[in-house]
Amino acid sequence: MRKLMFCEEFDSNPSLAAPASASMKSAGRPWFSLVAKAWSGVACRCGVVCLVATTWVSSACGANGTLTFTADDKATGASTITRMELWRGTPTGKTTPVRRTVPAGIGVVLDRSVELTMPDGPYHFRLIRGPEYRIVTGTFTLEPTSLDEKNVQLPRMVDMLSEGWTSGDCMVVASENSLPLRMASEDLHVASVMGHQDAKPIPYRDADYDIGGEPKWIREDVSHHDGLAFYGLGPETWNSISAADTISTRRLVIASERSNEENTIQIGVENPFAWELPVWLASSRINGFFLMGDWLRLDRKILKVAEGRGPQNVGFGDGQQLGRYAEEIYRNILDAGIRMPPLAGGGSASNGTPVGYNRLYVTLPSDAPSDHDVSDPLAVTDAQQWWSGVWRGNSVATNGPMLRPKLAGKLPGHVFTGSAGTTLQLQPELELAVRDPVEYLEVIHNGRVHYSARLKEFAEAGGRIPMIETDQSGWVFIRVVTLHEDHYRAAVSAPWYVEINGRPRVSKRSVEFFQKWLADYEAKLVALPPERLAEHAPFIRAARTFWQAKAEVAVE
């Protein structure tokens, strides 16, 4: 007889004061609930409950021990697909490979079941199925000639799809490892891939076997070059652009000029730190901005900008630095009067991290004719609706917290309008499910913190957030930041906009932010040979004019 110990993680944030699943909701009226499940077992450190199960060794089979794992959805009892991380001995460093499985960036895909035939000794495992499920961890010891089976049930924390929010990864690296299977293991529904690569057969499955996990929408018309992501370029157009010996900004202009009603091309900033950023923004041809990308990875810490302009100020923590810096850049874009939806995805260098780690949740707002009507989230019904929601900004970017926010009853992306002398009253509200301890929840209005609280403070206030009262143009977004140390793990809503007399807010501070960036970029370009410098010159002049025009209408 031997023992197998299985541990289930839960949010150990002391502000929640709950030993398991936690969910929160705020509204215009004071309303708050905290749901906790009672667990039996041995309480361990780090918010883990450890359940000890005893199993009998049933028979002998070869020199190595064998353990067959199966995974079920705890709520439905149905067999499910998940990602498995396995270590022999201490759960640090590289994971242990498992024969006849599909690699998943970190670990492998547990396709309903997996047979572990390995050398004897102690093992640690983790089962992860995207951010909507609890993480199940545990240990077991394999003994020579042992043969055992173990079923693990995965508890769902929240069902975003049933609430009208559909998950997607806006940039996936093409791979020989089955993308539909990896998407199912992360409970991901949309993926945009940089080109096509034939996948290897999936072990123990026929080629035409339905993997499930619907809806599942995959596009392979995403191209990447010098920090820009192009969506919808045909092969002929992309080949002509990529073959041209020209700079990234000229490629951007050429690509956008090929866009028409029949072939809509969208362009996103995939590298938010690129030196060319103020020039790209000045072109008015950018449709989205990667708020979360390949600087936020599970396979390694990214501590500095590899290509582009790094943080200019001090005060960022090492692991958190680039994530916070990307958000700072995004806030300055919004505060410069530029509407810009966020994007989230693995990025162009994400082949070592699980698909959908950085993801965008998109919804379709229900009909609500006026600013006074409540708009509810509806699930999109096809890929076109999902991408339309992306570019409208009906979304939340996240690599952890499950945030479902509203402002005055409206979903992200809504534009509130008013005339001079009118004061708008905007009530922030949200639903939140968290797996990590949370550092703070904040409402950002025009670049400044309108509300900031720990979850305990939020709970003690009855889940009520102070109302925003404004008679000025601007923007609002809501974010939840966790205490995860390796990198910036957060959820950030797309912005809501306020326009008084049809004019956006333009902040002097944010305009100066990009003017300084542009000046630093020009100083770098001076070192180029004259013929290369001449290629940049018209775009630099146009960018200067753009930002100067912004400065002339900017407010403090």
CATH number, residue 100: 2.60.40.1120
Tell me: do 514 and 427 sit in the same domain.
no
Check: CB of residue 109 under 8 Å from CB of residue 143. Answer: no
Q: Is the pLDDT of residue 68 over 60?
A: yes
Q: Amino acid letter at 518?
A: L
Distance CA 446, CA 112 (A): 47
Whether 343 is in a domain gets the answer yes
Tell me: do 295 and 264 sit in the same domain.
yes
Dmax of the chain from CA atoms? 82
Tell me: do 188 and 118 sit in the same domain.
no
Tell me: do 380 and 459 sit in the same domain.
yes
Residue 304: CB partners within 8 Å, gap ≥ 6? 310, 321, 322
Whether 263 is in a domain gets the answer yes
Question: With bands split at pLDDT 50, 70 and 90, how would you rate the model's confidence at 245?
Answer: low
β-pairing verdict for 190-194 and 166-173: parallel
> pLDDT: is 3 or 201 the higher one?
201
Residue 47: CB partners within 8 Å, gap ≥ 6? 9, 10, 11, 12, 13, 437
Radius of gyration (C-alpha) of the chain in whole angstroms: 25
> pLDDT: is 149 or 522 the higher one?
522
pLDDT for res 206? 82
Tell me: do 176 and 74 sit in the same domain.
no
Distance CA 84, CA 128 (A): 6
pLDDT for res 247? 75
pTM, two decimals, is 0.90
Q: Tell me the per-residue pLDDT of 377-398, one tens digit each, with 9 for 90 and over.
A: 999 999 999 999 999 999 999 9
Q: Which of 154, 171, 186 is the last residue of a domain?
A: 154
Report the phi/psi class of residue 89: left, alpha or beta, with left for phi > 0 and alpha for psi in -120 to 50: left
Tell me: do 299 and 408 sit in the same domain.
yes
**22-31, 134-143, 275-284, 374-383: least confident range:** 22-31
Residue in 276, 374, 346 with CA at minimum distance from that of residue 28: 374
The neighbouring-strand residues paired with 372 are: none
pLDDT for res 352? 87
pLDDT for res 395? 98
**57-61, 322-326, 465-469, 503-507: least confident range:** 57-61
299 lies in which domain range?
Answer: 161-201+211-509
Whether 45 is in a domain gets the answer no
Token pair belonging to 470: 């404004």
Given the structure tokens 């949309």, which residue do they identify? 190
Cα angle for residues 291, 293, 297 (degrees, 5° grid) = 130
**190-199, 297-306, 337-346, 496-505: least confident range:** 297-306
Q: Name the percent of the chain lying above pLDDT 90.
A: 67
Given the structure tokens 């690569």, which residue do they identify? 197
Q: How many residues does the structure list for the chain?
A: 556
Token pair belonging to 72: 């079920």
pLDDT for res 148? 86
Tell me: do 181 and 269 sit in the same domain.
yes
Distance CA 81, CA 211 (A): 9
Q: Is the pLDDT of residue 439 over 70?
A: yes
Question: With bands split at pLDDT 50, 70 and 90, how would you rate the model's confidence at 144?
Answer: confident
Long-range contact pairs involving 380-384 (C-beta distance under 8 Å, separation at least 24): 380/166, 382/217, 383/190, 383/217, 383/219
Distance CA 363, CA 162 (A): 11
Tell me: do 140 and 216 sit in the same domain.
no
Whether 269 is in a domain gets the answer yes
Whether 50 is in a domain gets the answer no
Token pair belonging to 118: 């390995």
Q: Amino acid letter at 468?
A: I
Tell me: do 461 and 544 sit in the same domain.
no
Check: CB of residue 55 under 8 Å from CB of residue 148. Answer: yes
For the residues 448-464, what does the mean pLDDT come to?
A: 93
**Alpha carbon distances (Å) from 61 to 66, 98, 146, 182, 299:** 8, 18, 7, 31, 35
Q: Residue 531's CB: how many other CB atoms inside 10 A?
A: 7
Distance CA 304, CA 319 (A): 10
Given the structure tokens 């008084």, which residue do they identify? 500
Tell me: do 453 and 313 sit in the same domain.
yes
For the residues 305-334, what does the mean pLDDT come to?
A: 86
Q: Is the pLDDT of residue 345 over 50?
A: yes
Check: CB of residue 198 under 8 Å from CB of residue 205. Answer: no
Q: Tell me the per-residue pLDDT of 536-551, one tens digit each, with 9 for 90 and over.
A: 999 999 999 999 999 9
Q: Tell me the per-residue pLDDT of 71-117, one tens digit each, with 9 for 90 and over.
A: 999 999 999 999 999 999 888 888 999 999 999 999 999 999 999 88
Whether 260 is in a domain gets the answer yes
Cα angle for residues 544, 548, 550 (degrees, 5° grid) = 125
**2-16, 128-142, 343-357: least confident range:** 2-16
Q: Is the pLDDT of residue 6 over 50?
A: no
Token pair belonging to 483: 């205490």
Residue in 253, 247, 246 with CA at minimum distance from that of residue 267: 253
Residue in 158, 182, 103, 125 with CA at minimum distance from that of residue 355: 182
The neighbouring-strand residues paired with 168 are: 190, 360
Tell me: do 136 and 189 sit in the same domain.
no
Determine what percent of the chain falls in helix, strand and coil, rounding each to the nearest 5: 20, 35, 50
Tell me: do 123 and 88 sit in the same domain.
yes
pLDDT for res 249? 79
Q: Tell me the per-residue pLDDT of 214-237, one tens digit each, with 9 for 90 and over.
A: 999 999 999 888 899 999 887 777
pLDDT for res 263? 66
Question: With bands split at pLDDT 50, 70 and 90, how would you rate the model's confidence at 58?
Answer: very low
Q: Tell me the per-residue pLDDT of 177-218, one tens digit each, with 9 for 90 and over.
A: 999 999 999 999 999 999 899 999 999 888 777 888 899 999
Report how many domains make up the chain: 3
Token pair belonging to 1: 């007889």
Residue 115: CB partners within 8 Å, gap ≥ 6? 66, 67, 68, 69
Residue in 32, 39, 16, 13 with CA at minimum distance from that of residue 155: 39
Average pLDDT score, the chain:
86
CA 36 to chain centre: 26
Whether 173 is in a domain gets the answer yes
> pLDDT: is 62 or 169 the higher one?
169
Check: CB of residue 428 under 8 Å from CB of residue 16. Answer: no
Q: Name the percent of the chain lying above pLDDT 70.
A: 86
Q: Is the pLDDT of residue 62 over 50?
A: no
Whether 58 is in a domain gets the answer no
Distance CA 92, CA 402 (A): 27
**157-161, 194-198, 387-391, 505-509: least confident range:** 194-198
Q: Which of 139, 154, 169 is the last residue of a domain?
A: 154
DSSP conformation letters of 112-160: SEEEEEE-SEEEEEEEE-STTB--EEEEEEE-TT-EEEEEEEEPBS--T
